[in-house]
Amino acid sequence: MVRDARVVRRPLREGGCWYLTWWRMSHLSLKRLPDLKIRDLRPGYCEFVLSSTDVSMANSLRRIILVEVPTIAIDLVEIEQNTTVLNDEFIAHRLGLIPLVSHAARVMKGPFDDIGDNDFTDVELSLNITCTSDDTIDVTSNDFLLDRLHPEVHPVGYPGGPSTGQETEKPSLVVKMRNNQELKLRAIARKGSWSITNWYPGGPSTGQETEKPILIVKMRKNQELKLKAIARKGIGKDHAKWIPVATVAFQHMPHITLNRALMDTLDEKTKEDFVDASPSHALVYNSVSKQVEVQEPEAYMYDGEYERKAAELNHPDLISIRQSTDEFIFRVEGTGVLSVEEVVLTAVDVLTAKLRNLQQALPHEITGEE
């Protein structure tokens, strides 16, 4: 609804033409108060219902979750030695797609941001593996050596992540460094060979790791891989490696209405055939009440099967299915770089900031003021 708006005609400076502008944009539409109800919230998954808004706002939120929530990913790889079967470019590409825990993105600066004396833009990870075994070994994301200044930035599932307070395993070696910090090391047996994996302060293994590490490359005897990887802050708009979620999607809430009067004219077999017309099984036949009932409307995928079946029965008004224009079901699945809750809340903050900037800029654009 548009209220308290008027059209102002102004001549252009050149050409003597006229153009139309909207005035008093703050009164163009009625205010909406969107409502969000969480139905399922876990560290890696979130499902919620967004209502009292329109599809443009829902799609804006989806796009921001996907490509405008900042995360950290490997952006530059300097390879010193590589005698594996994969070339340098292939390994660099694989490293870039390894998800890194990105809680530090809140305080980290991007490469194009204003940088102060106490700000940081780069996190350095390194890899130095030599295969001395006759067996094939796997080089995984767990073999990274972390940046001693920023150990909180590490691959998802890394066994040397921040301390949980439930550590059951002590490091086997502690080395005093020149700055009086302790470098904690543990030797790990890998199919007859030994390699050293490091933990910096606060990073011993919990002994409860269940996530499978990400494979980088397989190595045979005498093969070597030595490199340095620089991780930086970015967003999915710049590259897919900075996308914080595995998937984010929304669907319109379906509204299914049955014509009870017409339904009562059908026999039991016809009702069962009607229910089975769609593989979504949004409807169910109640053998006790002899009625067709809406069991799970959200399962309906708008395949049109119920409408086609109703048309075959010469009862096109038997069922009515419409998409809600102001209620949407969101499903967000994370990758582990951030909790899904943090991703959604950050996206809402980004969307709010965009709307606030638009609200402040529109009056100046309309009036032509600087």
In this predicted model, what pLDDT tens digit does every residue of 280-290 receive, in sequence order? Answer: 889 999 989 99
Both 313 and 227 in a single domain? no
State yes or no: pLDDT of 348 exceeds 90: yes
Give the count of domains, the chain.
Answer: 3
Using left for φ > 0, alpha for ψ between -120 and 50, and beta otherwise, residue 4 falls in left
Both 153 and 10 in a single domain? no
State yes or no: pLDDT of 71 exceeds 60: yes
Q: Which residues 6+ apart lie within 8 Å of 365 measured at CB?
A: none
Q: Decide if 358 is inside a domain.
A: no
What is the mean pLDDT of the segment spanning 261-266? 92
Pairwise CA distance, residues 60 & 328, whole Å: 13
Q: How confident is the model at residue 247 (pLDDT cuts 50, 70, 90)?
A: very high
Both 170 and 126 in a single domain? yes
Both 121 and 196 in a single domain? yes
For the chain, percent of residues with pLDDT exceeding 90: 63
Both 305 and 224 in a single domain? no
Q: Decide if 327 is inside a domain.
A: no
Both 275 and 211 in a single domain? no
Both 179 and 277 in a single domain? no
Q: Decide if 46 is inside a domain.
A: no
Both 165 and 264 in a single domain? no
Both 75 and 141 in a single domain? yes
* CATH code at position 219: 2.170.120.12
Q: What residues make up the domain containing 278?
A: 260-317
Both 111 and 218 in a single domain? yes
3-state DSSP assignment of residue 64: helix
Instruction: Please tell me whether the overall predicted TM-score, pTM, comes out greater than 0.75 for this model.
Output: no
| CB-based burial, 168-206: b 16+ in 10 Å, e otherwise | eeebeeeeeeeeeeebbebeeebeebebebbbbeebbbe
Mean model confidence pLDDT for the chain:
80
User: Is the CA virtual torsion 356, 361, 362, 367 positive or negative?
Assistant: positive
Q: Which residues 6+ apart lie within 8 Å of 141 measured at CB?
A: 98, 155, 156, 157, 158, 213, 214, 216
Q: Decide if 55 is inside a domain.
A: no
Both 154 and 88 in a single domain? yes
Which tops the pLDDT comparison, 66 or 208? 66
- The last residue of one of the domains, among 317, 337, 356, is 317
Pairwise CA distance, residues 133 & 78, whole Å: 26
State phi, psi for 308 to the nearest 5 degrees. Answer: -65, -40
Both 123 and 153 in a single domain? yes
- Radius of gyration from C-alpha coordinates of the chain: 29
What is the mean pLDDT of the segment spanning 38-46? 92
What is 256-316 written as a DSSP string?
Answer: EEE-HHHHTTS-HHHHHHHHTTSTT--EEEETTTTEEEE--GGG-----HHHHHHHHTT-T
Pairwise CA distance, residues 325 & 176, whole Å: 63
What is the mean pLDDT of the segment spanning 98-113? 92
Q: How confident is the model at residue 161 (pLDDT cuts 50, 70, 90)?
A: low
Q: How confident is the model at residue 353 (pLDDT cuts 50, 70, 90)?
A: very high
